[in-house]
Amino acid sequence: MNEITFTTYQSQVFTEVERLLRTNGYKAKPLFEDTYVISKRVAEIIQSSTPSDGVVDGLEDESIRVYNILLGITVQPTEETATVILGPDVPVTPPVVTPTTYTLVLIPTNSFLFGNEQVTVTYTGQFGIGTTLSGITSQNSFLEYRILSSTEPGFTFRGATTRIQSDGEVTQIN
């Protein structure tokens, strides 16, 4: 006679599967969980596929899994139910996202006041109102520049006139 020995956790799963059989049955038909054939099959499933150690929080999920195997029920995972469980020694490191810094070449629109020299500045992320440009130094409350070029791919503001505060913040684009 073959004897099956359970760990404490596996024994708890067995008891819970029997409770599911008693309360849920199958397709509205009661199943007698204490019949030898059903109990033997539950024991075989647990012995072959249930971990010997488990957590109480996972007891219900494991019992339902064994119950479904016993009755041939297949459950298709959905986005809501599909989970990835990592072991305790698998480090999870979030990806490091380094913002991209671009170079922008400007020329003052009032070149007779400020000279005709180009100004090269840098900015991080996409260019737009609220972007802060590094490299603008002025005592004026705002400066107006025409944009000559940018290293940003697909840059759409070439030729536009920008109004830039003395701290480098872009406040208007025409």
H helices of 82-126, in order, are 111-114
pLDDT of residue 33: 58
Supply the Cα-derived Rg of the chain in whole angstroms.
34
pLDDT of residue 167: 79
pLDDT of residue 115: 55
Cβ pair 142, 163 in contact under 8 A: yes
User: Would you list the domain boundaries of the chain?
Assistant: 8-71, 101-173
φ, ψ for residue 142, nearest 5 deg: -155, 160
Long-range contacts, 55-59 (Cβ 8 Å, 24+): 56/12, 59/9, 59/12, 59/13, 59/16
pLDDT score at 127: 81
Q: What is the predicted pLDDT for the residue at 53?
A: 84
pLDDT tens for the chain, residues 1 to 174: 577 888 899 999 999 988 888 887 776 676 665 577 888 888 899 988 888 887 767 788 888 888 888 888 877 665 555 555 555 555 556 666 677 888 888 877 765 555 567 778 888 877 888 888 887 766 555 678 888 888 888 788 888 888 888 778 888 888
Beta strands in the chain (DSSP E): 101-108, 119-124, 142-150, 161-165, 170-173
For residue 16, the Cα-to-chain-centroid distance in whole angstroms is: 34
How far apart CA 73 and CA 6 sit, in angstroms, is 24
